[in-house]
Amino acid sequence: MNQKTHNTPSAFPSEHPDGVHGLLVFGQTGQVASELQRLAPDAVFLGRAQADLNDPDACAATIRARRPLAVINAAAWTAVDAAETDEAAATVVNGAAPAGMAQACANLGIPFVHISTDYVFDGDGKAAFKPSDPTAPLGAYGRSKLAGEVGVRAADGPHAILRTSWVFSAHGANFLKTMLRLGGQRDTLTVVADQIGGPTQASAIARACLTIADQLRDAPEKSGTYHFSGAPDVSWANFARAIMAQAELPCTITDIPSSAYPTPARRPANSRLKCQSLSIFGLERPDWRIGVSEAITDLREAL
């Protein structure tokens, strides 16, 4: 199914007669927020100009003022390497801000859906991480996201923490777009082959967030931490090969170890996520291969 058919009506009306707003989304131009705008065009989207995540109190005040039916936080500090040199700032955006949002939502008794990451785990082993597994972030970004999870749970309102991984789409900067650009310029590329995870299409995450937020309104007992990543699990190198094949680019991918591509922040070697618990919402892991095809089609149509 092409993403262009996904502009289905949201379960959240734009505004009720008593002034209560429908869905409020923190984020406007990021990958998931862009897809949410396709799926829920009547929602209120707050970009940096309307909601500064460096000011958690202001974010909470915005929720109290707008009195929405549900809130999705699709905004975050996503610069993994930059977080290593400015962890305090990353922790305000990824930790204190969602904690404040969650508390405001809890006080209003409305659902709060927060997107988190596989980086809260240390990436050891080869088994898929369960939501209940112990967390042990390798770096500042993971610690900042874990702080947000702790704050959301502490608010004790209707909530869902949705951990995902390897997000891609036709929007913003991501691995798929980088591979398409480089694959069109070069005959060969070297790509890390010893990190394994589930690439996840941003539109699939957006749909999952809407489904979860809607169900939490009537079933707050479904609150908790969930995993949502694309299937099947794959290495970055094999993900790159699939991208080249679908885009019909004659670029050869050569495997390299992570040690050959050092970065300021360590990446988890194992980003596999066990996603079965999402069946409580009627959700299954999306096939990233279909997502790659849809994203490539979107990019070509945008030319």
Full 3-state SS string of the chain: CCHHHCCCCCCCCCECCCCCEEEEEECCCCHHHHHHHHHCCCCEEECCCCCCCCCHHHHHHHHHHHCEEEEEECCCCCCHHHHCCCHHHHHHHHHHHHHHHHHHHHHHCCCEEEEEEHHHCCCCCCCCECCCCCCCCCCHHHHHHHHHHHHHHHHCCCEEEEEECCEECCCCCCHHHHHHHHHCCCCEEEEECCCEECCEEHHHHHHHHHHHHHHHHHCHHHCEEEECCCECCEEHHHHHHHHHHHHCCCCEEEEECHHHCCCCCCCCCEECECCHHHHHHCCCCCEHHHHHHHHHHHHHHHC
HSE, side-chain direction, 13 A CA sphere, residue 192 = 17
Of 119, 141, 226, 261, the active-site residue reads: 141
Residue 301, Cβ density class (10 Å: 0-12 exposed, 13-18 middle, ≥19 buried)? exposed
Residue 303: predicted pLDDT = 77
Indicate the pLDDT class of residue 289, thresholds 50, 70 and 90: very high
The string over 73-111, giving b where at least 16 C-beta atoms fall within 10 Å of a residue's C-beta and e elsewhere, is: bbbbbbebebbbeebeebbbbbbbbbbbbbbbbbebebb
- The C-alpha angle 70, 162, 232, rounded to 5 degrees, equals 135
Q: pLDDT tens, 64-119?
A: 999 999 999 999 999 999 999 999 999 999 999 999 999 999 999 999 999 999 99
Mean pLDDT of 42-64: 95
- Domains, the chain: 3-172+198-230+272-287 (3.40.50.720)
Mean pLDDT of 51-60: 96
Query: How far is residue 23 from each of residues 18, 38, 155, 239, measured CA to CA in Å?
Result: 15, 14, 20, 34
Indicate the pLDDT class of residue 12, thresholds 50, 70 and 90: low
Distance CA 59, CA 207 (A): 24
Distance CA 187, CA 260 (A): 20
Residue 18, Cβ density class (10 Å: 0-12 exposed, 13-18 middle, ≥19 buried)? exposed
Q: Is the confidence at residue 6, as pLDDT, over 50?
A: no
Q: pLDDT tens, 201-211?
A: 999 999 999 99
Rounded to two decimals, the pTM is 0.93
Active site residue 261: no
Residue 142: predicted pLDDT = 98
Residue 302: predicted pLDDT = 84
Indicate the pLDDT class of residue 169, thresholds 50, 70 and 90: very high
Distance CA 206, CA 208 (A): 5
Lowest model confidence (mean pLDDT) among 47-51, 108-112, 197-201, 288-292: 47-51
- For residue 112, the cross-strand partners are 71, 159
